[in-house]
Structure 1
Amino acid sequence: MDNVGVAELQHCVDAVLSFLEPYWSFVNCHMVNYLIDDHWAHMVPHPLRAELQAVDHVHQAIKTFFSQTARDSPQFPALAQFLETCERHCLAGFPQLLTSVEQLEQLLPVTMGTHLSIKEFMSAKKCHEVEQTAALINKLVQSTTSESSAECYIVDAGDGKGYLSSRLALQYGHRVLGIDAKKSNTENALARNSKLKRAWNGLTERAELQSQGITPPRRGKKLATKATPVNIPVQDNYKTTSRFITTELNLCDLLKEHFVQELKVVKPRICLTGLHTCGNLAATCLQVFHAQDICRVLCSVGCCYHLLRERYSQQEFYGNKALMEESTDYGFPLSRHLQQRGVCLGRNARMLAAQSIERTLSAKELPNITIFYRALLEILVCRRAPHLKNQLKVGKVHKFNNFIEYVQICAKKLGEPWLAAVGEAELVALLQQHDTDRHYLSLFYLLRMSFAPVLESVILLDRLLYLKELGYEHSYLIDLFDAVISPRHYAIVALKP
């Protein structure tokens, strides 16, 4: 497998940005303004609009969108070309930039056996993510310790409930320090780990039986065997601390503080990891990996792109401004190449980057009716309270049967008397007036979502390029999870020589 160089990465990310150039308004628009700003006429390319003149065309186009095999249908050539071009500018369209787990294993100087599938206390989604990530990190740590006498400690950034940390400590026996900005998270993670330790031997026995094709008994019932399995004492390898992670946070000092008895060397080796680290933390992990020499291995899976602190964007509006102001470094762009180009995405584009086109296609899922109702509500805002245009924060609305009930709930929730005073006749007329728009909005939503993996590609290629520019030749982009199960499925892996 050829290692990707800086020049090729620059060429690929430039190609993606070139494709996005005409569409920045499209990807940064807000669905709230779909009707009042006539997004269909102003955002959708003319060739697409020309072949979608009637509602029947829209319905058929949506079927074509959901049917992978029907995308080359001659009925909608502009739509087929649009979807094909989007797919070509996603990471999957640059296979030379991706490394599979199997390819990475071939590069590592260790051979690892298969891992048990242990069903612990978490959702099927989280179990899939933790299992795959823990197995990969174990291989990475084993590879670095095979080349050095120094033991490798794992630092889990954004530890949360300790799902990944517990697995690494209990199943693989690694010493793990979980770091999270919220003290309540670290306390809950320790409590969960304590419960898991008590159940661990039983969970392991069940997993071993299942791996042999044996159906284990229901929990609480003893398995009738000739030899009773010996319960192995579970080591206390998992510690937590509450800190806000920056490049100035000395990880070596933290390890010495929490592993007083275990730490035998002055400068331990660290594997820095994070599973679905929110916003800027994923970018910070890359910067910490570079800034602190004892960080020898990096395995980072990011998420929550809308919480990234952009260097050049002027349209930022954070709900958690206090937390964002703690981030001293910018999270995008990281690479010199994109900084020189002054690339900015915008908050709405980053929100879009975190959406899952794979899940939408798999479920053949149309947008929730609340998106259409919210767009209708904005028309009422412009009619009755124009000073509040783009100002109302409606949030999620539950338990309504129609548009009239939706508006009534919104009026009560927002405390806006003018909205409560809107008569049912006006609401019914508004709904009828825009009935056709409802169908076009659904297709617009799907077309816009097609950009999601393209935008994510820019963010992830920027991170990989950042590492390559700094000279970390052994840096990889791994497609780690099933994209339908786990939408944020790419991991950044880097190894220091």
Structure 2
Amino acid sequence: MSSSQIRACLEEILHFMQPHWEFVNCHMVSYLTEKHWQNYVPAELKHEVPDVESVQSCIETVFWQNNDGDNKFSGVKQFVANCRKYYLDKSTDILTPMEQLNKALGLVQDDAQNLTIKEFMSEKKRHEVEITAALIDRLIHSVSSNTEVYIVDAGDGKGYLSSRLALQYKHRVLGIDFQELNTENALQRNRKLERVWNGLVKRAELQQQGITPKRRSKNVQKPATFTPETIANANEKDMLYKTTAAFITTDLNIIQLLQQQFPQVTHTSAICLTGLHTCGNLATTCLRLFHEQPQCRLICNIGCCYHLLQEEYASPEFFENETISARQKTPGFPMSQFLRDKHLTLGRNARMLATQSFERVTSERSVMNTSLYYRALLEVLICDTAQEMRQKLQVGKVRKYANFNEYVALCCKKFATTQNCNLHWDTAIVDNVQKQYAADAHYMHLYYMLRMCFAQVIESLILLDRLLYLKELGYAESYLVAVFDAVISPRRFGIIALKSAAS
């Protein structure tokens, strides 16, 4: 895939998004107070849903049933179709299918390695780890036949991917995480996993043959406990998986970190830099490290948490973790010179939207969370009686409420204890607001679905920018690949790039 093709695709998306930036950057909290339905939904779509009954029918027909058998709600259907044109899985000339990647790089699929090993993780995480580990193993074998490749797992967390790469595929892996507690916990988890690994593999092999293994005995030996001292001593040995705590920036010398844990590493050793769901700027920092450090011969990065990206041309915005924000030296968007020349800004709400999964919502028929509607109603109360507090109050998560009155009471209690603000509304006022905007709950749900149609369009912009960055730097073997099942793991796209031996 050439740079010119990616630029052309980006231009198409930007042209399509031009009239919709305010739509994707609006805040659902302000849906009622700022009249989002009236301001952002195209007139032809509003005409198709004149009442609550038609709104409910539209959601059922267009989103749940995906019924194209008649012309009912044709405007909404066309709106959805127009958005879908710019989803990555519709860009067959941009997205590289896994089969095509295997063929292009000569990757050999080993079916014997495709074991579903039920270790200590969720079904979703297992899906991600098994596929990613097998992919990385194939990639490593494609770049080196006689030189050992060391894997660096950025944002190692609990060590799910690293443990699998070390235990199943016998690679040497260094897990790097910002928090030292994470690295210690990852090593403890790996020790426990080592003790039961052979048994887990045998059970997986039996299940692969259609044989139901015997239930494991409950009288298992109590796992050993590990202290920082025992972990440190264990690291002295020739283990395949080791960890270190470091904040990853473009200045980080990966070879030095590897040499501290694996003394046999030399300046000619090859490195595979990987990361499974690297958050925010960490994904883009990894791409820059791949380019700037010659020993990094291969990268396989699957990013997530687009809302945590720092934008170069955006105004300063709220950032959940100020400590991490202060240590990040390079913006995460845009990366490509093409979009930097345009000074493109997405906006935080657009990036938040890009983390949502349209496929999962439609496949599971997930209705809009009631808390969104209640929060919009609360904003009406605040604007009516405490306008001066509107920009100051932070609601956050509210749990265990049965109705809007209970929701309001919990919010008032939270305001009083965390923000020293005493607000109170009589039950009659709360009931009246809910009655006044009863129909809007249904319209807000349809609005929510229409807005979510843009989620993967924004994701396309973010990921194509990263792919173009690598293409601009001359990495011909750089690919954007759908790695996971869209419903199981919505953040499923990986950036893969290889350096030629001459690079």
Match of 1:133 in 2: 132
- Identical residues among aligned pairs (%): 52
Distance 1:421 1:337 in 2: 52
Report whether the alignment pairs 1:173 with 2:174: no
Report whether the alignment pairs 1:159 with 2:156: yes
Match of 2:449 in 1: 446
Deviates more, 1:75-84 or 1:204-213: 204-213
Distance 1:68 1:457 in 2: 25
CA shift at 1:238, angstroms? Answer: 0.3
3-state SS of paired residue (1:457): helix
1:141-180 superposed Cα distances (whole Å, 9 cap, x missing partner): 111112xx32100000000000000000000000000001
CA shift at 1:110, angstroms? Answer: 4.7
Match of 2:55 in 1: 58
Match of 2:181 in 1: 184
1:61-87 superposed Cα distances (whole Å, 9 cap, x missing partner): 111232354146311111011000010
Match of 1:227 in 2: none
Aligned pairs for 1:326-475 (under 5 A) are 326-415=327-416, 420-475=423-478
**Equivalent of residue 489 in structure 1, options 466, 485, 492:** 492
1:101-156 superposed Cα distances (whole Å, 9 cap, x missing partner): 2211112245241122211100000000000000000000111112xx32100000
Distance change >3 Å, CA 13–CA 207, structure 1 → 2: same
Distance change >3 Å, CA 221–CA 161, structure 1 → 2: closer
**Equivalent of residue 46 in structure 2, options 44, 49, 58:** 49
Deviates more, 1:385-394 or 1:368-377: 385-394
CA shift at 1:374, angstroms? Answer: 0.4
Q: Which letter does structure 2 place at the counterpart of 1:422?
A: W
Q: Which letter does structure 2 place at the counterpart of 1:171?
A: Q
Distance 2:74 2:64 in 1: 14
Contact 1:170 1:235 in 2 (8 A): no
Report whether the alignment pairs 1:195 with 2:195: no
Q: Which letter does structure 1 place at the counterpart of 2:441?
A: R
1:360-418 superposed Cα distances (whole Å, 9 cap, x missing partner): 00111111111111001011111221112233211111111111111001100111787
Distance 2:70 2:336 in 1: 40
Aligned pairs for 1:170-249 (under 5 A) are 170-220=167-217, 236-249=239-252
Contact 2:405 2:427 in 1 (8 A): yes
Distance 1:107 1:67 in 2: 38
Distance change >3 Å, CA 193–CA 180, structure 1 → 2: same
Distance 1:417 1:249 in 2: 43
1:415-442 superposed Cα distances (whole Å, 9 cap, x missing partner): 1787653100011111100001111001
Distance 1:256 1:175 in 2: 12
- TM-score calculated relative to the size of structure 2: 0.93
CA shift at 1:209, angstroms? Answer: 1.3
Gaps of 5+ in 1: 223-233
Contact 1:408 1:420 in 2 (8 A): no
CA shift at 1:221, angstroms? Answer: 8.3
Contact 1:176 1:238 in 2 (8 A): yes
CA shift at 1:266, angstroms? Answer: 3.4
Match of 1:150 in 2: 147
Contact 1:174 1:237 in 2 (8 A): yes
**Equivalent of residue 256 in structure 1, options 236, 255, 259:** 259
CA shift at 1:481, angstroms? Answer: 0.4
Match of 2:305 in 1: 304
Distance 2:108 2:425 in 1: 69
3-state SS of paired residue (1:70): coil
Contact 2:415 2:421 in 1 (8 A): no
Distance change >3 Å, CA 463–CA 81, structure 1 → 2: same
Moved over 3 A (4+): 416-420
Aligned pairs for 1:14-93 (under 5 A) are 14-71=11-68, 73-93=70-90
3-state SS of paired residue (2:275): strand
Distance change >3 Å, CA 164–CA 23, structure 1 → 2: same
Distance 1:253 1:322 in 2: 25
3-state SS of paired residue (1:218): coil
Contact 1:99 1:478 in 2 (8 A): yes
Provide the aligned length of Structure 1 versus Structure 2.
479
Distance 2:464 2:108 in 1: 29
CA shift at 1:315, angstroms? Answer: 5.5
Distance 2:161 2:69 in 1: 42
3-state SS of paired residue (1:298): strand
Contact 1:112 1:139 in 2 (8 A): yes
Distance 1:27 1:215 in 2: 50
- TM-score calculated relative to the size of structure 1: 0.94
Contact 2:159 2:187 in 1 (8 A): yes
1:276-300 superposed Cα distances (whole Å, 9 cap, x missing partner): 0000000101000000010000100
3-state SS of paired residue (2:46): helix
**Equivalent of residue 479 in structure 1, options 471, 479, 482:** 482
Match of 1:226 in 2: none
3-state SS of paired residue (2:332): coil
Contact 1:252 1:267 in 2 (8 A): no
Distance 1:189 1:221 in 2: 24
Deviates more, 1:125-134 or 1:243-252: 243-252
3-state SS of paired residue (1:276): strand
**Equivalent of residue 6 in structure 1, options 3, 6, 21:** 3
Distance 2:150 2:366 in 1: 43
Distance change >3 Å, CA 306–CA 125, structure 1 → 2: same
3-state SS of paired residue (2:297): strand
CA shift at 1:53, angstroms? Answer: 1.2
Contact 2:306 2:352 in 1 (8 A): yes
Q: Which letter does structure 2 place at the counterpart of 1:442?
A: H
3-state SS of paired residue (1:97): coil
